[in-house]
Copies of this chain bind each other. A is one copy, B any other.
Amino acid sequence: MNFTLDAQDRHSQARAATFHTAHGLVKTPIFMPVGSLGTVKTLSPADLDQCGVQIILGNTYHLYLKPGLEILKKMKGLHNFNGWGRSILTDSGGFQVYSLDGLKKISKDGVEFRSHWDGSKHFFSPQKVVDIQRIIGSDIMMVLDECIPNPSDMERAQKAHQLTIEWAKLSREAFFKSNHLYDYPQFQFGIIQGGIYPELRHESIDNLLKLDFDGYAIGGLAVGESLKEREQITRFCTQKLPSEKPRYLMGVGTPLDILEAIQSGVDMFDCVMPTRNARNGTAFTTTGKLVIRNSTYRSDLKPLDEKCQCYTCLNFSRAYIRHLFNVNEMLGLRLTTLHNIYFYLKLVNSAREAIVDDEFQNYKNSFLAEYKS
C-alpha cells in the first residue's frame, strides 16, 4: 500500500499518513462515507468529489444480494458500475449478518443467513467473502468476522474471538490463493475482535499480526459499550499495532469520538451518522448539531453552518432547507447530506493539518470549545 507516516504528534498517538491504492492516494486521518449499496445515499460521485471524499465504503452483504455477483462481474467491478473513480473499501458483511436478528446461523465454517429482501438462504464462508470482494473489486477488502452484542460475557466473547481468528487465517490464505479479477491489485485488512476484554484483544492482535495483513481494523466497538470502554480498548489496540500499517476503527462515530480516536492513533473511520442524521434533518455544524425542522429556523437566512464552504452552505438558508424537509422534497435530504459529509471530511482534514503542524491538541481543544454536543 506504500503506507507512509507523514507526521507523528509529539503529545499523543495522533498521526498523519498517506497510502496508495490503484484508485489514488488516501491521506489520513480519513473519514469514509458509507455507501452500502454502491452509492452514498442521495449523493453523486461529483458531489463526493466536491466534499473532498477520498475513499468510500461499500458492503459485501448488500452488494452480494443486490445487484448480485453476476452483474458486478459483467460490469467489471463496483468502480465501473457506480462511476466512483477513487478508492473503495468493502466491509465483509460480518456486521450486517450480525444485525440480522434471528435470520442467521453461525458455524465454524461460516454463517448461514436469510436475505432481508426476500428471505432466501445464503452462506458466507471466510473464503467466499474473499471471492465476493474479488468480484466487487474493492481496493481494500475486510475479512469475515463474528461480531457479538454488548454486553457479552467473557465466554461468549472468547468463542467469537477464537472463531474470528480462525476465519482470519482462512481469509488470508484465500486472499493469497486468489487473484484480482481486474487490472489492479487489492489489499486485505484483518479485524481485531475481543469485546471489552483487553486480554482477548491482545491475543487477537498477536494472531492477526502473524498473518501480516495490509492494515488492521478494530471491530466490535460502537455496539453499545460506554465511551470510556471504547476509548480504553481503542488505545489498548493502537498501542499494540505496528506503526507502519493503517488502523481503522469500524463504525465510529460522532465528531468527538473521531477526534478522540485520532488522538489514540487511529487513521481511518466510517459511520452512517453524517448520512443517516442528514436524512433525519440533523446537520453537524461547528457549534454542534442543528435540527433543521425546529421552528427557530423558519425564516433564518443563515446557512446551516456559518463557517462552512460547502455547496449547501454557500447557496441555501436554513429557512429553505427547513421548507424542503417540511414539504418532503428530496433535495433537503441531499443538501443536508452533502453538508454533513463535507463537515466530516473537513474535520479529519483539519485534524491532519494540525498533526502535520504539531498543533493537534490545540485544534482539538478549539473544536471542542465551540462544538456543543
Q: Which of A299-325 contact B (CB under 8 A)?
A: 299, 301, 311, 315-317, 319-320, 323-324
In the complex, A38 Cα to B326 Cα: how many Å?
A: 12
- Give residues 36-66 of A contacting B (CB, 8 Å): 37-39, 41-46, 62, 66
Whether A320 contacts B82 by the Cβ 8 Å rule is yes
Q: Does B330 contact A41, Cβ atoms closer than 8 Å?
A: yes
Tell me which of A150-158, A331-339, A343-351 binds B: A331-339
Please tell me if A71 contacts chain B, counting CB pairs below 8 Å. Answer: yes
Contact of A6 with B by CB under 8 A: no
Residues of B within 8 A of A333 (CB): 330
B contact residues around A70 at 8 Å (CB): 299
> A319 contacts B44, CB within 8 Å?
no
Any B CB within 8 A of the CB of A329: yes
For A66, the chain B residues whose CB sits under 8 A away are 323, 326-327
Question: Contact: A311 with B46, CB < 8 Å?
Answer: yes
Interface centre among A75, A301, A323 (most CB of B within 10 A): A323
Are A44 and B75 touching (Cβ within 8 A)?
A: no
Chain B residues with CB under 8 A of A45:
315
Bound Cα distance from A45 to B62, whole angstroms: 32
Interface residues of A in 115-161 (CB under 8 A from B): none
Q: Which of the residues B43, B311, B330 comes within 8 Å of A42, measured between beta carbons?
A: B330
**Set of chain B residues within 8 Å of A311, measured between Cβ atoms:** 44, 46
Complex contact A299–B44 (CB within 8 A): no
A74 close to chain B: CB less than 8 A: yes
Alpha-carbon gap, A227 to B197, bound state (A): 75
Residue A24, interface by CB 8 Å = no
A227 to B256, CA, bound (A): 62
Complex Cα distance A44/B42, Å? 12
Does A42 lie within 8 Å of B298, measured CB to CB?
no
A37-B327, A46-B311 given. 12 additional CB < 8 A pairs?
A37-B323, A37-B329, A38-B323, A41-B331, A62-B327, A74-B301, A81-B317, A83-B316, A83-B320, A330-B330, A330-B333, A334-B334
What are 15 A-B residue pairs whose CB atoms fall within 8 Å in the complex? A38-B320, A38-B323, A39-B329, A42-B331, A44-B331, A46-B311, A62-B327, A67-B298, A70-B299, A71-B299, A71-B323, A75-B301, A75-B317, A82-B316, A82-B320
